[in-house]
Amino acid sequence: MGLAFGAGALAAAQARINGQLAIEVSDGLLAAVVSFGTGLVLVVLVTLSLRGPREALRRGLPAALRRGQLRWWHLVGGALGATFVAGQGLVVPLLGVALFTVLAVTGNTFASMATDRLGIGPGGRRPVTARRVVAAAGTVVAVALAVSGRASAGDLVVWAVVLALLAGAGTGVQPALNGQVAARTGEPLVATVVNFVVGTVVLALALAVEHLAGHGWTPPPAPWEEPVLWLGGPLGVAFILTAAIVVRSLGVLLLSLLSTSGQLTGALVADVVAPTPGTLLTWQLVAGVALTMGAVALAAARRRT
Protein backbone atom coordinates (compact mmCIF):
# COMPACT_ATOMS: atom_id res chain seq x y z
CA MET A 1 0.00 0.00 0.00
CA GLY A 2 2.90 2.34 0.76
CA LEU A 3 4.48 1.60 -2.61
CA ALA A 4 1.20 2.35 -4.39
CA PHE A 5 0.89 5.69 -2.56
CA GLY A 6 4.49 6.60 -3.37
CA ALA A 7 4.00 5.72 -7.03
CA GLY A 8 1.09 8.13 -7.15
CA ALA A 9 3.24 10.94 -5.76
CA LEU A 10 5.76 10.26 -8.54
CA ALA A 11 2.95 10.50 -11.09
CA ALA A 12 2.04 13.95 -9.75
CA ALA A 13 5.64 15.07 -10.13
CA GLN A 14 5.65 13.66 -13.67
CA ALA A 15 2.49 15.61 -14.50
CA ARG A 16 4.05 18.88 -13.33
CA ILE A 17 7.26 18.24 -15.29
CA ASN A 18 5.43 17.26 -18.48
CA GLY A 19 3.12 20.23 -18.14
CA GLN A 20 6.11 22.57 -17.93
CA LEU A 21 7.80 20.82 -20.85
CA ALA A 22 4.65 21.27 -22.92
CA ILE A 23 4.79 25.01 -22.21
CA GLU A 24 8.47 25.14 -23.21
CA VAL A 25 7.95 23.34 -26.54
CA SER A 26 4.44 24.72 -27.22
CA ASP A 27 3.07 21.22 -27.80
CA GLY A 28 1.61 18.70 -25.35
CA LEU A 29 2.13 15.76 -27.71
CA LEU A 30 5.82 16.53 -28.19
CA ALA A 31 6.22 16.71 -24.42
CA ALA A 32 4.58 13.29 -24.14
CA VAL A 33 6.90 11.84 -26.81
CA VAL A 34 9.95 13.16 -24.95
CA SER A 35 8.67 11.72 -21.67
CA PHE A 36 7.82 8.29 -23.07
CA GLY A 37 10.91 8.19 -25.25
CA THR A 38 13.33 8.86 -22.39
CA GLY A 39 11.49 6.31 -20.28
CA LEU A 40 11.80 3.76 -23.09
CA VAL A 41 15.57 4.28 -23.42
CA LEU A 42 16.05 3.91 -19.66
CA VAL A 43 13.98 0.76 -19.23
CA VAL A 44 15.48 -0.94 -22.30
CA LEU A 45 19.02 -0.28 -21.04
CA VAL A 46 18.17 -1.66 -17.59
CA THR A 47 16.42 -4.72 -19.01
CA LEU A 48 19.22 -5.60 -21.43
CA SER A 49 21.78 -5.29 -18.64
CA LEU A 50 20.06 -7.96 -16.51
CA ARG A 51 20.10 -11.58 -17.64
CA GLY A 52 16.75 -12.63 -16.18
CA PRO A 53 14.65 -9.81 -17.65
CA ARG A 54 16.61 -9.98 -20.92
CA GLU A 55 15.81 -13.68 -21.38
CA ALA A 56 12.19 -13.16 -20.35
CA LEU A 57 11.86 -10.47 -23.00
CA ARG A 58 13.57 -12.53 -25.70
CA ARG A 59 12.00 -15.92 -24.97
CA GLY A 60 9.38 -15.70 -22.25
CA LEU A 61 7.18 -13.07 -23.88
CA PRO A 62 7.01 -14.76 -27.35
CA ALA A 63 6.41 -18.14 -25.67
CA ALA A 64 3.53 -16.76 -23.59
CA LEU A 65 1.96 -15.32 -26.74
CA ARG A 66 2.36 -18.59 -28.66
CA ARG A 67 0.79 -20.62 -25.85
CA GLY A 68 -2.13 -18.24 -25.58
CA GLN A 69 -1.28 -17.26 -22.01
CA LEU A 70 -1.12 -13.69 -23.27
CA ARG A 71 -3.44 -12.16 -25.85
CA TRP A 72 -2.48 -9.31 -28.14
CA TRP A 73 -4.69 -6.91 -26.20
CA HIS A 74 -2.68 -7.57 -23.03
CA LEU A 75 0.12 -5.61 -24.73
CA VAL A 76 -1.76 -2.35 -25.32
CA GLY A 77 -1.41 -0.95 -21.80
CA GLY A 78 1.18 1.47 -23.12
CA ALA A 79 -1.38 3.06 -25.44
CA LEU A 80 -3.55 3.84 -22.42
CA GLY A 81 -0.53 5.22 -20.57
CA ALA A 82 0.29 7.33 -23.61
CA THR A 83 -3.16 8.90 -23.41
CA PHE A 84 -2.55 9.81 -19.78
CA VAL A 85 0.88 11.34 -20.44
CA ALA A 86 -0.47 13.26 -23.43
CA GLY A 87 -3.25 14.49 -21.17
CA GLN A 88 -0.65 15.77 -18.72
CA GLY A 89 1.00 17.86 -21.41
CA LEU A 90 -2.25 19.17 -22.85
CA VAL A 91 -4.36 19.69 -19.71
CA VAL A 92 -1.98 20.60 -16.87
CA PRO A 93 -0.91 23.93 -18.45
CA LEU A 94 -4.61 24.87 -18.67
CA LEU A 95 -6.03 23.53 -15.39
CA GLY A 96 -3.09 22.85 -13.08
CA VAL A 97 -1.84 19.58 -11.61
CA ALA A 98 -4.39 19.19 -8.81
CA LEU A 99 -7.50 19.70 -10.94
CA PHE A 100 -6.14 17.41 -13.67
CA THR A 101 -5.52 14.73 -11.05
CA VAL A 102 -8.93 15.08 -9.39
CA LEU A 103 -10.65 14.88 -12.78
CA ALA A 104 -8.67 11.79 -13.74
CA VAL A 105 -9.82 10.08 -10.54
CA THR A 106 -13.39 9.69 -11.75
CA GLY A 107 -12.50 7.88 -14.96
CA ASN A 108 -9.81 5.89 -13.17
CA THR A 109 -12.05 4.72 -10.33
CA PHE A 110 -14.94 3.48 -12.43
CA ALA A 111 -12.67 1.85 -15.01
CA SER A 112 -10.82 0.14 -12.15
CA MET A 113 -14.05 -1.22 -10.70
CA ALA A 114 -15.04 -2.61 -14.08
CA THR A 115 -11.58 -4.11 -14.55
CA ASP A 116 -11.68 -5.86 -11.15
CA ARG A 117 -15.22 -7.08 -11.75
CA LEU A 118 -14.34 -8.54 -15.16
CA GLY A 119 -11.12 -10.13 -13.89
CA ILE A 120 -8.84 -8.51 -16.46
CA GLY A 121 -5.95 -8.25 -13.98
CA PRO A 122 -3.63 -11.13 -13.01
CA GLY A 123 -5.41 -11.57 -9.66
CA GLY A 124 -8.64 -12.64 -11.38
CA ARG A 125 -12.11 -11.41 -10.55
CA ARG A 126 -12.45 -9.30 -7.42
CA PRO A 127 -15.77 -8.34 -5.84
CA VAL A 128 -16.74 -4.68 -5.92
CA THR A 129 -17.97 -4.14 -2.36
CA ALA A 130 -20.52 -1.61 -1.20
CA ARG A 131 -17.72 0.28 0.55
CA ARG A 132 -15.85 0.70 -2.73
CA VAL A 133 -18.99 1.81 -4.55
CA VAL A 134 -19.56 4.48 -1.90
CA ALA A 135 -15.92 5.52 -2.19
CA ALA A 136 -16.22 5.78 -5.95
CA ALA A 137 -19.36 7.90 -5.59
CA GLY A 138 -17.42 10.11 -3.21
CA THR A 139 -14.80 10.77 -5.86
CA VAL A 140 -17.54 11.88 -8.26
CA VAL A 141 -18.81 14.38 -5.70
CA ALA A 142 -15.21 15.52 -5.15
CA VAL A 143 -14.74 16.14 -8.87
CA ALA A 144 -17.97 18.13 -9.08
CA LEU A 145 -16.86 20.23 -6.12
CA ALA A 146 -13.34 20.71 -7.47
CA VAL A 147 -14.48 22.03 -10.85
CA SER A 148 -17.29 24.18 -9.44
CA GLY A 149 -14.96 27.06 -8.65
CA ARG A 150 -13.78 27.33 -12.24
CA ALA A 151 -17.26 26.76 -13.63
CA SER A 152 -18.69 29.64 -11.60
CA ALA A 153 -15.84 31.87 -12.75
CA GLY A 154 -16.42 30.88 -16.41
CA ASP A 155 -12.85 29.56 -16.63
CA LEU A 156 -13.56 25.88 -17.27
CA VAL A 157 -12.11 24.38 -20.49
CA VAL A 158 -14.61 21.61 -21.27
CA TRP A 159 -12.48 19.62 -23.73
CA ALA A 160 -9.63 19.55 -21.20
CA VAL A 161 -12.02 18.17 -18.56
CA VAL A 162 -13.20 15.41 -20.93
CA LEU A 163 -9.62 14.51 -21.89
CA ALA A 164 -8.61 14.27 -18.23
CA LEU A 165 -11.55 11.93 -17.54
CA LEU A 166 -10.63 9.68 -20.49
CA ALA A 167 -6.95 9.69 -19.52
CA GLY A 168 -7.89 8.63 -16.01
CA ALA A 169 -10.08 5.82 -17.33
CA GLY A 170 -7.13 4.50 -19.31
CA THR A 171 -4.94 4.33 -16.22
CA GLY A 172 -7.66 2.29 -14.54
CA VAL A 173 -7.14 -0.52 -17.04
CA GLN A 174 -3.41 -0.11 -17.75
CA PRO A 175 -2.09 -1.76 -14.53
CA ALA A 176 -4.24 -4.84 -15.16
CA LEU A 177 -2.83 -5.35 -18.65
CA ASN A 178 0.75 -4.69 -17.56
CA GLY A 179 0.21 -6.95 -14.57
CA GLN A 180 -0.81 -9.79 -16.88
CA VAL A 181 2.39 -9.40 -18.88
CA ALA A 182 4.46 -9.32 -15.68
CA ALA A 183 2.72 -12.41 -14.29
CA ARG A 184 2.97 -14.50 -17.48
CA THR A 185 6.62 -13.66 -18.15
CA GLY A 186 7.70 -13.59 -14.51
CA GLU A 187 9.39 -10.21 -14.96
CA PRO A 188 7.81 -6.80 -14.22
CA LEU A 189 10.55 -5.18 -16.32
CA VAL A 190 9.22 -6.97 -19.40
CA ALA A 191 5.81 -5.44 -18.80
CA THR A 192 7.46 -2.04 -18.43
CA VAL A 193 9.39 -2.43 -21.70
CA VAL A 194 6.24 -3.45 -23.60
CA ASN A 195 4.35 -0.54 -22.05
CA PHE A 196 6.93 2.04 -23.14
CA VAL A 197 7.45 0.59 -26.62
CA VAL A 198 3.72 0.64 -27.41
CA GLY A 199 3.18 4.06 -25.82
CA THR A 200 6.10 5.64 -27.63
CA VAL A 201 4.93 4.30 -31.00
CA VAL A 202 1.39 5.57 -30.44
CA LEU A 203 2.57 9.02 -29.40
CA ALA A 204 5.07 9.28 -32.25
CA LEU A 205 2.34 8.46 -34.76
CA ALA A 206 0.03 11.04 -33.21
CA LEU A 207 2.80 13.65 -33.32
CA ALA A 208 3.46 12.83 -37.00
CA VAL A 209 -0.22 13.31 -37.83
CA GLU A 210 -0.22 16.62 -35.95
CA HIS A 211 2.87 17.75 -37.85
CA LEU A 212 1.32 16.82 -41.21
CA ALA A 213 -1.72 18.88 -40.20
CA GLY A 214 0.56 21.92 -39.98
CA HIS A 215 1.06 22.27 -36.22
CA GLY A 216 4.52 23.53 -35.29
CA TRP A 217 6.53 23.31 -32.08
CA THR A 218 9.72 24.52 -30.41
CA PRO A 219 12.58 22.01 -29.94
CA PRO A 220 12.99 20.94 -26.30
CA PRO A 221 16.00 22.26 -24.38
CA ALA A 222 19.00 19.93 -24.15
CA PRO A 223 19.10 17.61 -21.11
CA TRP A 224 22.22 19.34 -19.77
CA GLU A 225 20.47 22.73 -20.00
CA GLU A 226 17.18 21.81 -18.30
CA PRO A 227 17.70 18.34 -16.75
CA VAL A 228 14.49 18.46 -14.69
CA LEU A 229 12.35 18.64 -17.84
CA TRP A 230 13.76 15.26 -18.91
CA LEU A 231 12.80 13.44 -15.71
CA GLY A 232 9.22 12.70 -16.74
CA GLY A 233 10.22 9.44 -18.43
CA PRO A 234 12.23 8.00 -15.51
CA LEU A 235 9.39 8.88 -13.12
CA GLY A 236 6.98 7.10 -15.45
CA VAL A 237 9.22 4.02 -15.43
CA ALA A 238 9.14 3.97 -11.63
CA PHE A 239 5.34 4.31 -11.61
CA ILE A 240 4.69 1.58 -14.19
CA LEU A 241 7.16 -0.84 -12.63
CA THR A 242 5.73 -0.38 -9.15
CA ALA A 243 2.15 -0.78 -10.37
CA ALA A 244 3.01 -3.99 -12.25
CA ILE A 245 4.55 -5.42 -9.07
CA VAL A 246 1.80 -4.60 -6.56
CA VAL A 247 -1.36 -4.96 -8.69
CA ARG A 248 -1.51 -8.73 -8.12
CA SER A 249 -1.81 -8.41 -4.35
CA LEU A 250 -3.85 -5.21 -4.16
CA GLY A 251 -6.22 -5.52 -7.10
CA VAL A 252 -6.77 -2.84 -9.71
CA LEU A 253 -9.27 -0.69 -7.82
CA LEU A 254 -7.34 -0.56 -4.54
CA LEU A 255 -4.08 0.12 -6.39
CA SER A 256 -5.73 2.93 -8.33
CA LEU A 257 -7.27 4.50 -5.24
CA LEU A 258 -4.03 4.38 -3.24
CA SER A 259 -1.93 5.75 -6.08
CA THR A 260 -4.57 8.42 -6.63
CA SER A 261 -4.21 9.48 -3.00
CA GLY A 262 -0.47 9.89 -3.57
CA GLN A 263 -1.14 11.79 -6.78
CA LEU A 264 -3.53 14.18 -5.07
CA THR A 265 -1.11 14.92 -2.27
CA GLY A 266 1.74 15.56 -4.66
CA ALA A 267 -0.48 17.50 -7.07
CA LEU A 268 -1.70 19.91 -4.41
CA VAL A 269 1.89 20.49 -3.27
CA ALA A 270 2.95 21.10 -6.89
CA ASP A 271 0.18 23.66 -7.44
CA VAL A 272 1.15 25.51 -4.27
CA VAL A 273 4.93 25.42 -4.75
CA ALA A 274 5.22 25.61 -8.56
CA PRO A 275 1.88 26.49 -10.21
CA THR A 276 1.41 26.44 -13.97
CA PRO A 277 -0.09 29.50 -15.72
CA GLY A 278 -3.53 27.85 -15.75
CA THR A 279 -3.58 26.95 -12.05
CA LEU A 280 -6.46 28.34 -10.01
CA LEU A 281 -6.22 27.22 -6.39
CA THR A 282 -9.72 27.66 -4.91
CA TRP A 283 -11.27 26.40 -1.70
CA GLN A 284 -13.48 24.12 -3.83
CA LEU A 285 -10.38 22.47 -5.32
CA VAL A 286 -8.78 21.94 -1.91
CA ALA A 287 -12.06 20.55 -0.55
CA GLY A 288 -12.33 18.25 -3.57
CA VAL A 289 -8.84 16.92 -2.92
CA ALA A 290 -9.67 16.30 0.74
CA LEU A 291 -12.94 14.55 -0.13
CA THR A 292 -11.18 12.34 -2.66
CA MET A 293 -8.58 11.33 -0.10
CA GLY A 294 -11.39 10.48 2.32
CA ALA A 295 -12.94 8.24 -0.31
CA VAL A 296 -9.57 6.57 -0.83
CA ALA A 297 -9.25 5.91 2.90
CA LEU A 298 -12.72 4.37 2.95
CA ALA A 299 -11.96 2.05 0.04
CA ALA A 300 -8.57 1.04 1.42
CA ALA A 301 -9.78 0.33 4.96
CA ARG A 302 -9.76 -3.33 5.95
CA ARG A 303 -12.98 -4.81 7.24
CA ARG A 304 -12.78 -5.70 10.94
CA THR A 305 -13.45 -9.32 11.84
Got the DSSP string for 31-66?
Answer: HHHHHHHHHHHHHHHHHHHSHHHHHIIIIIHHHHHH
Q: Which pLDDT score is estimated for 305? A: 41
Q: Which pLDDT score is estimated for 153? A: 65
Q: Give CA–CA dist 24/209, Å, rounded.
A: 21
Burial of 284 (0-12, 13-18, 19+ CB in 10 A): buried
pTM: 0.77
Q: Which pLDDT score is estimated for 101? A: 81
CB of 287 closer than 8 Å to CB of 161: no
Of the candidates 74, 101, 79, 113, the residue with the CA atom closest to the CA atom of residue 252: 113
Each residue's pLDDT expressed in tens, for the chain with a length of 305 residues: 888 888 888 888 888 898 889 889 988 899 999 998 998 999 899 889 988 889 988 888 998 898 888 888 889 888 998 888 888 888 888 888 878 888 887 787 788 888 887 877 776 677 777 777 887 788 788 878 877 777 666 667 888 889 998 988 888 888 888 888 888 888 888 888 998 899 999 999 999 998 888 887 888 888 888 899 999 888 888 887 787 778 777 776 677 777 777 888 888 888 888 787 777 777 778 888 888 778 767 766 655 44
